[in-house]
């Protein structure tokens, strides 16, 4: 065990967590292993002795990759659950969980030096993180390729509430859907008595669904409810599902990363579930039981699915503070990979705060600015309840605007601090400051052309409607006040060349939406023999040059039939940019914008071609899959039907 000062603060700030002055963070190194197969990886650890008060304890799990031996299958390219335990002399308790990504080699986010930090707040388990213990990683993988490095940061200060004790509820994998092995027969009633000093309690669960039966692909791809009963009364009902995998911050991935799942997503940490218990104080005796909804499945190749459940009762003492706001995270501007989709951003900083006191927060004064520049102030007004979080957009920052105007490059620092809460000094100043490093949004011209080709993808089970075409998605450009500058819905089997005139200098955001969360090009369509074709997007200037975009790679000779990772964005893609000047409007703008639809695709007897925005005679060529021109004509008609024989 050792203390690390400035470096500790910089690391945690980069991860987006508020820090006080140097000298208040103690780091403990735990596991540092290569996870090569399904196994427990144990490391003896010496934690602090508990004589110092800690405001927060963070567990930083750094996931990386290594090259597997020659001939290995699925090296670092499968979504495996990773469980983190603390083993004390009397118990073994799971404190966090994550799922590995489909870290396929060659994908733009992955490579030999790739690392991803998963930061868990494990303050609830502080009574276990004391003196000599063992930390365990359970890696449930049937192939290798991932590394794990685990550190704990003990941040000195006063916690929201002291933890008075922990009681384990359930901790196992439970088969679900088997009529001869009912899950509710395993989830038995548990009896507890609250320890001394307790004034409240929460049930904290980490739950993920795995496996697939032949009825509803339960449990990975099927959602089900459970009830939590206290003293035989239902106090909470929870649906076990995560519906945001298609906007995962760690993208693109190989595999089925876009599919929503039973409370988890590939490459993401598993979010704990909290339920407040009723009327728990010191000496209170009570019962708890979890019950799942009735469900009967049909066994698949590997039998039935299951839920992996880890649950604990966390007992708390009284609030230690009355009026206290804590800066929790910088959403933008930052280079933090947890905010990859939101950055580089505009000149509007966004932060998350937490109410660490017992009183409602009604106002917060912020001071914020680019490092070494003049700070701005802003007073937020609202209502933030005790222990609640909220995300706040601060007014536009002049220093960010000025830096971008100059065309500056490189990395910069951003500082934000809380200076007052509810019109008075904050009780705890150790959680009032945050810093981040960031890069500026790119500068684009005032006239841009969106060159879009949509495929014939509508969802995983059907193709384009041959008569009307089907909306595959849309694009939209908005200003920093979310006013729409230009927008277009995108039909399948179409090519769009839309010129957009930016009305004034300033920051803007390009947003792409995919109707079925497949982006414009999901990798399986490269391997499809069913006639499914992908789409693509290129943003150009009026001279025809490609404009670079975050996460996009344009190969030489890129054309709209090229797919690739740069269009594998899941449900949504955002690109902020700065226009140095308004675009030039002339009589031809938008008059030359055309959309072309071709259907059906594939075609058996005839192909229909419709053209929107045609102003004069157009040349039409049909090119087969090996690049041969098989048909050519000129026409002024808006619709053509061409026989395939």
pLDDT at residue 6, rounded to an integer: 34
pTM (predicted TM-score): 0.88
Per the CB < 8 A criterion, the answer to whether 212 and 218 are in contact is yes
Q: What is the mean pLDDT of residues 32-44?
A: 97
Per the CB < 8 A criterion, the answer to whether 499 and 587 are in contact is no
Phi-psi region of 566 (alpha: psi -120 to 50; beta: other; left: phi over 0): alpha
pLDDT at residue 490, rounded to an integer: 85
**Considering only 168-177, 576-585, 597-606, which range has the smallest mean pLDDT?**
597-606
**Cα four-point dihedral sign 216, 220, 222, 225:** positive
pLDDT at residue 473, rounded to an integer: 84
What is the DSSP pairing of strand 412-421 with strand 361-370? antiparallel
Q: What is the mean pLDDT of residues 513-532?
A: 74
Q: What is the mean pLDDT of residues 458-464?
A: 47
CA distance 438 to 454: 33
pLDDT at residue 256, rounded to an integer: 93
Does 508 score more than 80 pLDDT? Answer: yes
How much of the chain, in percent, has pLDDT values that exceed 70?
81
Q: Which residues of 455-467 are buried (b: 16+ CB within 10 A; e: fewer)?
A: bbbbeeeebbeee
Per the CB < 8 A criterion, the answer to whether 167 and 277 are in contact is no
Of the CA atoms within 13 Å of residue 38, those in its CB half-sphere come to 7
pLDDT band of residue 625 (cuts 50, 70, 90) is: very low
pLDDT at residue 453, rounded to an integer: 82
pLDDT at residue 621, rounded to an integer: 64
CA distance 319 to 15: 27
pLDDT at residue 458, rounded to an integer: 56
CA distance 462 to 459: 6
Instruction: Write down the mean pLDDT value for the chain.
Output: 87
pLDDT at residue 105, rounded to an integer: 84
Q: What is the mean pLDDT of residues 128-133?
A: 96
pLDDT band of residue 515 (cuts 50, 70, 90) is: confident
pLDDT at residue 7, rounded to an integer: 38
pLDDT at residue 461, rounded to an integer: 42
pLDDT band of residue 108 (cuts 50, 70, 90) is: confident
pLDDT band of residue 550 (cuts 50, 70, 90) is: confident
Per the CB < 8 A criterion, the answer to whether 145 and 77 are in contact is yes
Q: Which residues of 178-204 are buried (b: 16+ CB within 10 A; e: fewer)?
A: beeebbeeebeebebebbeebbbbbbb
3-class DSSP state of 634: strand
pLDDT at residue 562, rounded to an integer: 46
What is the DSSP pairing of strand 629-635 with strand 618-623? antiparallel
Per the CB < 8 A criterion, the answer to whether 204 and 312 are in contact is yes
Q: What is the mean pLDDT of residues 553-581?
A: 72
Label each residue of 380-427 as H, E or C. Answer: EEEEECCCCEEEEECCCCHHHHHHHHCCCCCCEEEEEEEEEECCECCC
pLDDT band of residue 109 (cuts 50, 70, 90) is: confident
Which among 400, 519, 398 is positioned nearest to 452, based on CA atoms? 519
How far is Cα of residue 410 from the mean position of the Cα atoms in its chain?
25
Residue 396 has which token pair?
Answer: 């536009």
What confidence tens digit (pLDDT) does each residue in 65-82 have?
Answer: 999 999 888 999 999 999
CA distance 498 to 489: 12
**Considering only 197-201, 583-587, 588-592, which range has the smallest mean pLDDT?**
588-592
Per the CB < 8 A criterion, the answer to whether 218 and 177 are in contact is yes
Q: What is the DSSP string of 464-499?
A: --TTT--EEEEEEEEETT--EEEEEEEESSEEEEEE
CA distance 428 to 407: 39
**Cα four-point dihedral sign 112, 555, 338, 421:** positive
Q: What is the mean pLDDT of residues 231-236?
A: 98
pLDDT at residue 259, rounded to an integer: 95
How much of the chain, in percent, has pLDDT values that exceed 90?
69
What confidence tens digit (pLDDT) does each residue in 184-206 have?
Answer: 999 999 999 999 999 999 999 99
Residue where the block lists tokens 């943003």: 539
Q: What is the mean pLDDT of residues 203-212?
A: 97
Phi-psi region of 557 (alpha: psi -120 to 50; beta: other; left: phi over 0): left
Per the CB < 8 A criterion, the answer to whether 615 and 593 are in contact is no
Give 613: exposed, middle or buried? Use CB within 10 Å, 0-12, 13-18, 19+. middle
3-class DSSP state of 184: helix
pLDDT at residue 607, rounded to an integer: 65
Q: Kindly report the CA angle at 84 between 83 and 85, in degrees rounded to 5?
A: 120
Alpha-carbon dihedral angle through residues 574, 575, 576, 581, given to the nearest 10 degrees: -130
CA distance 517 to 320: 45
Does 409 score more than 80 pLDDT? Answer: yes
Q: Where is pLDDT greater, at 625 or 471?
A: 471
Q: What is the mean pLDDT of residues 575-600?
A: 70
Which among 235, 309, 236 is positioned nearest to 270, based on CA atoms? 309
pLDDT at residue 567, rounded to an integer: 77
pLDDT band of residue 16 (cuts 50, 70, 90) is: low
What confidence tens digit (pLDDT) does each residue in 462-488 have?
Answer: 444 444 556 678 899 999 999 999 999
Per the CB < 8 A criterion, the answer to whether 470 and 64 are in contact is no
């Amino acid at each position: 065990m050792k203390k690390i000062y400035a470096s500790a603060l910089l690391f945690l700030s980069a991860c987006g967590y508020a820090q006080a002055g140097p000298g208040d963070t103690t780091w403990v190194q735990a596991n540092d292993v290569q996870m090569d197969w399904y196994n427990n990886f144990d490391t003896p650890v010496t934690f602090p002795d508990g004589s110092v008060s800690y405001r927060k304890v963070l567990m930083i799990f750094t996931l990386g990759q290594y090259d597997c031996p020659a001939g290995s299958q699925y090296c670092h390219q499968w979504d495996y659950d990773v469980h983190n335990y603390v083993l004390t002399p009397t118990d073994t308790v799971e404190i966090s969980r994550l799922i590995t990504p489909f870290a396929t080699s060659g994908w733009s986010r992955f490579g030999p030096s790739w690392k991803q930090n998963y930061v868990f707040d494990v303050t609830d388990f502080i009574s276990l993180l004391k003196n000599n213990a063992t930390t365990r990683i359970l890696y449930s993988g049937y192939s290798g390729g991932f590394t794990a490095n685990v550190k704990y940061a003990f941040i000195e200060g006063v916690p929201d509430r002291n933890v008075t004790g922990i009681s384990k509820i359930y901790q196992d994998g439970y088969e679900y859907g088997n009529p001869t092995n009912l899950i509710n027969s395993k989830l038995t009633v548990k009896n507890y008595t609250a320890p001394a000093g307790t004034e409240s309690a929460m049930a904290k669960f980490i739950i993920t669904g795995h496996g697939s039966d032949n009825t509803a692909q339960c449990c990975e791809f099927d959602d089900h409810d459970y009830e939590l009963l206290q003293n035989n009364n239902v106090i909470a009902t929870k649906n076990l599902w995560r519906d945001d995998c298609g906007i995962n911050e760690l993208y693109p991935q190989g595999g089925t990363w876009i599919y929503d799942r039973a409370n988890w997503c590939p490459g993401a940490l598993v979010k704990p579930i909290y339920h407040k218990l009723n009327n728990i104080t010191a000496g209170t005796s009570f019962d708890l039981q979890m019950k799942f909804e009735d469900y009967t499945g049909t066994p698949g190749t590997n039998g039935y699915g299951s839920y992996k459940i880890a649950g604990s009762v966390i007992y708390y003492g009284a609030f230690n503070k009355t009026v206290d706001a804590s800066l929790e995270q910088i959403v933008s501007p930052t280079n933090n990979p947890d905010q990859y989709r939101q950055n580089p951003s505009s000149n509007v900083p966004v932060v998350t705060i937490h109410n660490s006191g017992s009183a409602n927060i009604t106002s917060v004064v912020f001071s914020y600015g680019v490092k070494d520049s003049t700070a701005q102030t802003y007073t937020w007004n609202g209502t933030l309840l005790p222990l609640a979080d909220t995300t706040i957009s601060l007014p536009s920052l002049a220093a960010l605007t000025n830096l971008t105007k100059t065309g500056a490059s490189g990395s910069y620092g951003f500082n934000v601090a809380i200076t007052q809460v509810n019109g008075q000094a904050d009780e705890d100043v150790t959680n009032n400051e945050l810093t981040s490093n960031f890069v500026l949004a790119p500068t684009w011209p005032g006239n841009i052309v969106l060159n879009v080709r949509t495929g014939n993808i509508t969802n995983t089970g059907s193709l384009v409607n041959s008569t009307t075409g089907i909306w595959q998605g849309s694009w939209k450009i908005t200003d920093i006040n979310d006013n729409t500058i230009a927008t277009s819905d995108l039909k399948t089997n179409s090519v769009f060349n839309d010129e957009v005139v930016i009305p004034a200098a300033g920051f803007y955001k390009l947003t792409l939406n995919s109707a079925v969360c497949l982006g414009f090009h999901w990798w399986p369509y490269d391997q499809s023999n069913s006639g499914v074709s992908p789409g693509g997007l290129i943003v150009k200037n009026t001279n025809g040059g490609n404009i670079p975009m975050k996460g996009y790679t344009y190969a030489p000779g890129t054309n709209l039939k090229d797919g690739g990772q740069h269009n594998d964005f899941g449900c949504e893609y955002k690109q902020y940019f700065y226009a140095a000047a308004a675009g030039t409007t002339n009589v031809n703008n938008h008059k030359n914008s055309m959309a072309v639809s071709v259907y059906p695709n594939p075609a058996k007897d005839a192909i229909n071609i419709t053209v929107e925005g045609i102003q004069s005679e157009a040349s039409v060529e049909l090119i087969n899959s090996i690049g041969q021109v098989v048909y050519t004509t000129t026409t002024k008609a808006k619709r053509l039907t061409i026989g395939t024989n």
